[in-house]
Amino acid sequence: MILTYAAIYYDGTTTYRGYSDVMEAEEHFVIRIPDNPPLDAGAPLLCAGITVYGPLKYFKLDKAGLHVGIVGLGGLGRMAVKFAKAMGGLRSL
């Protein structure tokens, strides 16, 4: 088992997880981020954004003209409303 922080990998290196300087990943799971994005704009997209974007795409709610029900307007709900609108969803109150 490899712990998330300060554990030793099999090759003798130390784990740093979120505090790492570099990482290695398969190309399929990587997205390109501009060199100097404002963190306050990009961070929500990679957290709350992908949490709501994934189900919208999976359940094929990304088509124009569909009504999408979103419960709550907290961090996730706010992002879901923005994505649904950008995908052409109809607004219902």
Phi first, then psi, for residue 5 (nearest 5°) are -145, 135
Name the token pair of 90.
């109809």
| pLDDT reading at 17 higher than 80 | no
85 CB-near residues (< 8 Å, 6+ apart): 91
Give the pLDDT confidence score for residue 51 in this predicted structure: 93
Q: Out of 32-36, 63-67, 74-78, which region has the weakest mean confidence (pLDDT)?
A: 32-36
Taking the whole predicted model, whether its pTM rises above 0.75 is answered as no
| CA-closest candidate to residue 24, choices 41, 39, 9, 37 | 9
Give the C-alpha separation, 40 to 13, whole Å.
Answer: 32
Half-sphere exposure of 87 (CA within 13 A, CB side): 19
| Contact status, residue 72 vs residue 48, Cβ threshold 8 Å | no
Give the C-alpha separation, 35 to 45, whole Å.
Answer: 16
| pLDDT reading at 77 higher than 90 | yes
Q: What is the mean pLDDT of the chain?
A: 85
| Residues of the chain above pLDDT 90, percent | 35
